């Protein structure tokens, strides 16, 4: 497969696998690193490895690597779990690259829009202050700095709320009569897992074609929406008429994230709003 671009996806889960399938279909060599590689499709070369272990995976690929996507997910949702997944794991992978003399053309780091602490429904872009003070936000910003300061070209992608097949928490809540306050509106941001994979693909293709990339992109659909509006629409689709006695809102913050920078690069979401995305999920049920 000489002459093609190579991509290593460290933490090759749902989004990484969807990206790997896209890039393999375009002739890229794709390697997926995860602890259990049995779930990987055949077109993604398996690399069994543990981001929590210091030892470099014995089957670490030889030869040059063109691109790295670090796309880990915390298995423990506490401060230690976040640090292990996002900061320590990234440092290990960067160390393994250095051990093998590999200098990818660019590193992509899957980050989170949770780094923004805006509360009042403001529009947010990549240049907005990212000053949320939760431990997860502080650690994610630290991990972004590890990527951006590693001495290799790097881009962080701040993904908003991922949803799609198998990520249906909100559907379950709505079926249970999920009640959300309407005033003030609690704005939420989301991106379908296929569109997140598509954004990473757009960035990789652009960089491979010599298009200059920024150091940060927001991954979000076209239509941030008040949570009560999303819930109302889903209630109608699901035929739910009852309400729970409790108001259950699991997250803090209210902001509207802009995808203008990603769109300017040529990316466009297949599911421009929650309506198209959830309609596709419900149609498969």
Q: Return the percent helix, strand and coil in the chain, to nearest 5.
A: 35, 20, 45
pLDDT of residue 184: 86
Secondary structure (3-state) at 57: coil
Report long-range pairs for 1-7 (Cβ below 8 Å, ≥24 apart).
Answer: 1/29, 4/28, 4/29, 5/29, 5/66, 5/67, 5/204, 5/208, 6/30, 6/31, 6/61, 6/63, 6/64, 6/65, 6/66, 6/67, 7/31, 7/65, 7/66, 7/67, 7/68, 7/69, 7/204
DSSP symbols for 145-195: HHHHTSSS-EEEEEE-EEEBTTB-HHHHHHHTT-B---SS--EE-EEEHHH
For residues 23-42, b (16+ Cβ closer than 10 Å) or e, as one string? bbeeebbbbbbbeebeebee
Instruction: Give whole-number Cα distances, 92 to 57, 87, 261, in Å.
Output: 11, 9, 30
pLDDT of residue 180: 86
Q: Which residues of the chain have pLDDT under 50?
A: 1-2
Give the domains, in start order, of the chain with CATH numbers. Answer: 6-165+190-223+259-267 (3.40.50.720)
pLDDT of residue 246: 75
Joined tokens for residue 9: 């996806």
pLDDT of residue 252: 61
- Is residue 216 within 8 Å of residue 80, measured between CB atoms? no
pLDDT of residue 261: 98
DSSP 8-state assignment for residue 108: E
pLDDT of residue 282: 95
pLDDT of residue 3: 62
For residues 162-193, b (16+ Cβ closer than 10 Å) or e, as one string? bbbeeebebbebbeebbbbeeeeebbbbbbbb
């Amino acid at each position: 497969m000489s002459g093609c671009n190579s991509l290593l996806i460290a933490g090759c889960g749902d989004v990484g696998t969807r990206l790997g399938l896209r890039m393999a279909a375009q002739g890229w060599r794709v390697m997926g690193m995860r602890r259990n590689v049995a779930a990987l499709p055949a077109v993604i070369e398996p690399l069994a490895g543990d981001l929590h272990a210091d030892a470099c995976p014995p089957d670490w690929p030889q030869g040059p690597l063109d691109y790295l996507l670090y796309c880990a997910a915390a298995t423990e949702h506490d401060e230690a779990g976040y640090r292990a997944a996002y900061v320590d794991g990234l440092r290990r992978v960067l160390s393994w690259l250095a051990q093998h003399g590999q200098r990818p053309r660019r590193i992509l780091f899957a980050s989170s829009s949770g780094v923004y602490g805006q509360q009042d429904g403001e529009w947010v872009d990549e240049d907005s202050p990212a000053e949320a003070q939760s431990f997860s936000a502080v650690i994610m910003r630290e991990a972004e700095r590890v990527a951006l300061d590693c001495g290799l070209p790097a881009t962080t992608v701040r993904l908003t709320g991922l949803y799609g097949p198998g990520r249906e928490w909100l559907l379950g809540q709505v079926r249970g009569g999920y009640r959300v306050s309407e005033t003030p509106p609690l704005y939420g941001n989301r991106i379908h897992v296929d569109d997140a994979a598509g954004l990473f693909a757009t960035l990789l293709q652009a960089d491979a074609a010599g298009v200059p990339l920024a150091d940060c992109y927001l991954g979000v659909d076209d239509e941030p929406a008040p949570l009560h509006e999303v819930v109302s629409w889903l209630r109608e689709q699901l035929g739910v008429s009852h309400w729970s006695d409790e108001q259950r809102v699991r997250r803090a913050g209210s902001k509207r994230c802009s995808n203008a920078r990603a769109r300017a690069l040529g990316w466009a979401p297949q599911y421009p709003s929650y309506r198209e995305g959830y309609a596709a999920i419900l149609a498969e049920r």
